Amino acid sequence: MDVFILKNEDECSEYAARMITDLVKSKPNAVLGLATGRTPIDTYARMVRIHNEEHVSFKDVKTFNLDEYYGIDESHPSSYHSFMQKHLFSKVDINQENVHVPSSKPQNVAEFCAWYENEIKKAGGIDIQLLGIGGNGHIGFNEPTSSLASRTRIKVLTEKTRTDNTFDFGTIEKVPMHAITMGIGTIMESRQIIIMAFGTKKADIVRQMIEGPVTALVPASVLQMHPSVKVIIDEDAASALERKEYYKWVFDNRPN
């Protein structure tokens, strides 16, 4: 894992946006794995800025989102379909046919999940996957004890996740109980991964992800097994790391 501790959220978001848009510059038909939540919002805003100012085109880019709530309308303001349109897709020149977000109401869940996996394969696999981390260590909606080899499927959301995501729905009762999410095995097949976290609220789970054992109890810890992960975090999210100074020293001496 490359652990990049940057000064603040702005620097982290700029770094991630640059990595993604640099990839799109060098590979205009790149396949992007995208995330929702508060963490990547500013990264998307910066990707939009780079698209406008530097004419980086998303015309041939394909995208696959990690997850979607199950059972709500895709037009619901808190659906991940709405989130992605609002923060990115409506603001760049992406072809809507190249956009994939898991369905919130598939007729047959198992068939849909197999189809989603196959679409990723047909696109040639994900070049770069952007991730946030849940307060309980989830990635996508792969809650603790998810199989580390799991594929796209429906999951029951934990009380902790539903509480954390209440702000989107008003009350916990309104937060869906289920979601369709790429599996951990699916995520691990991405060629590159960026995972971001900000703020002291994420400090302990970030420590467990980087310095704890690989365990299904902290799904993000499996990223220790991936050959190309960049953990991009601000000072606050890094505050519980035992080897913080070491990561900074490695960063300062990174090869060009």
Task: For the CB of residue 12, give the shortest distance to ligand GLP in the complex, in Å.
Answer: 12
> Based on CB atoms, which residue is closest to ligand GLP, 38 or 243?
38
The amino acid that residue 197 corresponds to is: A
What is the number of alpha carbons within 13 Å of residue 71 lying toward its C-beta? 10
DSSP code, position 216: T
Catalytic center residues = 67, 136, 138, 143
Interaction residues for ligand GLP, span 37-76 (CB under 6 A): 37-39, 66-67
> Based on CB atoms, which residue is closest to ligand GLP, 56 or 207?
207
Angle between helices 80-87 and 41-54 (to 10 degrees): 40
Of the candidate spans 36-44, 107-115, 184-192, 229-237, the one that interacts with ligand GLP by CB under 6 A turns out to be 36-44
Task: For the CB of residue 39, give the shortest distance to ligand GLP in the complex, in Å.
Answer: 3
Is residue 152 close enough to count as binding ligand GLP by CB under 6 A?
no
Contact of 231 with 139, CB cutoff 8 Å: no
> Based on CB atoms, which residue is closest to ligand GLP, 23 or 219?
219
The count of residues interacting with ligand GLP (CB under 6 A) is 14
Interaction residues for ligand GLP, span 176-215 (CB under 6 A): none
> Based on CB atoms, which residue is closest to ligand GLP, 44 or 141?
141
What is the distance of C-alpha 169 from the center of its chain?
20
Q: Is 159 helix (H, G, I), strand (E, B) or coil?
A: helix
Rounded CA separation 214/230 (Å):
17
> Based on CB atoms, which residue is closest to ligand GLP, 23 or 66?
66
Contact of 208 with 139, CB cutoff 8 Å: no
Interaction residues for ligand GLP, span 162-181 (CB under 6 A): 165
Joined tokens for residue 141: 């909606």
Helix segments in the chain, DSSP class H: 9-26, 41-54, 80-87, 109-122, 159-164, 184-188, 203-211, 244-252
Q: Give the residue, chosen from 21, 36, 146, 190, that forms a contact with ligand GLP under the rule CB under 6 A.
A: 36
Task: List, in order, residues 6 or more apart from 175 with CB less than 8 Å away.
Answer: 157, 162, 165, 166, 168, 169
Task: For the CB of residue 141, give the shortest distance to ligand GLP in the complex, in Å.
Answer: 5
Contact of 31 with 62, CB cutoff 8 Å: yes
- Stretch 122-151: interaction string toward ligand GLP, x if CB under 6 A: ----------xxx-----xx----------
Site residues for ligand GLP per CB under 6 A: 35-39, 66-67, 132-134, 140-141, 161, 165
